[in-house]
Structure 1
Amino acid sequence: MPNFNLEIKSAVEAIKAGKLILFPTDTCWSIGCDANNASSVEKLLMLKQNDNPKNITCLVADDRMLGKYVKQIPDAAQSIIEIADTPTTIVYDMPQNLATNLYWKNNTIAIRIPDDEFCYQLLRRTNCAIATSLACIEGEASPKYYEEIAPTILKGVDYVVNLQMQKNCTKPASIIQIDNSSIVKILRK
């Protein structure tokens, strides 16, 4: 039986060393790395075979950590975070303190506070945002189970978290864009 604390420790060490990990989130199995490390982000994009940061979401532990990476959190975003009953990624204006190769062309970034104990502990113990993307090559179907993850992805990461191997990923997070004037746009339900 996998040891939760050992898996956290190993994943934290890998992230801090600039490596890629494969881990379960509150939505789907994902590839992750330190969102402050531009070369790690570049490795993530290369593994995904895509150079578009729009396919990357940054995970943060809580509102306090969110404030470290977004200059201004719109009131509407705070309301959505508090009432959302499903995983919801929010696209914010004016990101800061992250690897700039994560920023979208219009100077925005996608961030989610996951509702998952492993993710929370990983984020708290690394004390940084984690850049994540679904565990698949760009254009391929995202895996619903660990067993469906392509060998290319498995070989391309440095560490695989040995938890929730039977997790069923029914759908990725909703994506909402909220600009600093609190205009809300649903990008994916």
Structure 2
Amino acid sequence: MENLNDEIQKAFEVIKDGGIILYPTDTVWGIGCDATNAEAVAKIYKLKQRAETQSMIVLMNGERMMYNVFNDIPEVAWQILDFAENPTTLVLDNPRNVANNIIATDKTLAVRIIKEPFCFKLLERMKKPLVSTSANISGQATPKSFKEINPEIIKGVDYVVNLQRDKIAGKPSTIIKLTSDSQVKIIRK
């Protein structure tokens, strides 16, 4: 049985040194790094062969981290999160305190508050948001299990978390865009 705390420590050390990790999330396997480190974010774009204009999701572990990144969070955001039955990603306006290359061209950032134990505890250690993008080359299908992950991705990261390797992924999160004036738009169900 893998040791959760050992894996959190190993992943934390890699991230702290500007590395990128392959890890299980509450939905699918993800590639991640410190969302405040532009060089680490650039490594992920390069590995995924993805244009930097395509933004990625950032994981957070609660209100404090959310308010560190967003000055203004519409009340409806908290209502959506309170009532969401499945993992839900919110796209919010005007993030700060994150790498510029993680912010979308329309000045938004996609965020998900996570409760899954590995990610939650890693975020507690990091005290910073964690990039989370599906573990695939851009344009390829999102892998449903660890064994479906392209070997290029596995070789391209600095650390592969040794947890939940046999788990079949859930579906990707619902994505809802909220504007400062509280307009709501569902991007992915």
Q: TM-score, normalised by structure 2?
A: 0.98
Distance 2:184 2:15 in 1: 33
Residue 120 of structure 1: aligned partner: 120
Residue 160 of structure 1: aligned partner: 160
1:149-177: CA deviations, max 9, x gaps?
A: 00000000000000011111131000000
Q: How does 1:1-189 map to 2 (within 5 A)?
A: 1-189=1-189
Say which SS state the counterpart of residue 30 (structure 2) adopts. strand
Distance 2:127 2:170 in 1: 29
Distance 2:52 2:78 in 1: 27
Equivalent pair of 1:55/1:133 in contact (CA under 8 Å): no
Q: Which segment is superposed worse, 167-176 or 133-142?
A: 167-176
- C-alpha RMSD of the superposition: 0.9
Give the unaligned 5+ runs of structure 1: none
Q: Which runs of 4+ in 1 moved over 6 A?
A: none
Distance 2:68 2:166 in 1: 34
Change (3 A) 1:163 1:61: same
Quote the offset at 1:139 in angstroms: 0.4
Quote the offset at 1:52 in angstroms: 3.4
Equivalent pair of 2:55/2:109 in contact (CA under 8 Å): no
Quote the offset at 1:64 in angstroms: 1.0
Quote the offset at 1:142 in angstroms: 0.7
Q: TM-score, normalised by structure 1?
A: 0.98
Distance 2:55 2:165 in 1: 23
Equivalent pair of 1:90/1:176 in contact (CA under 8 Å): yes
Distance 2:53 2:71 in 1: 19
Distance 1:173 1:115 in 2: 13
Identity of aligned residues (%): 46
Quote the offset at 1:54 in angstroms: 3.5
Distance 2:52 2:176 in 1: 18
Quote the offset at 1:53 in angstroms: 4.9
Change (3 A) 1:178 1:99: same
Equivalent pair of 1:87/1:115 in contact (CA under 8 Å): no
1:26-72: CA deviations, max 9, x gaps?
A: 00000000000000000010001012353410000111111111121
Say which SS state the counterpart of residue 175 (structure 1) adopts. strand
Paired residues, number: 189
Give the unaligned 5+ runs of structure 2: none
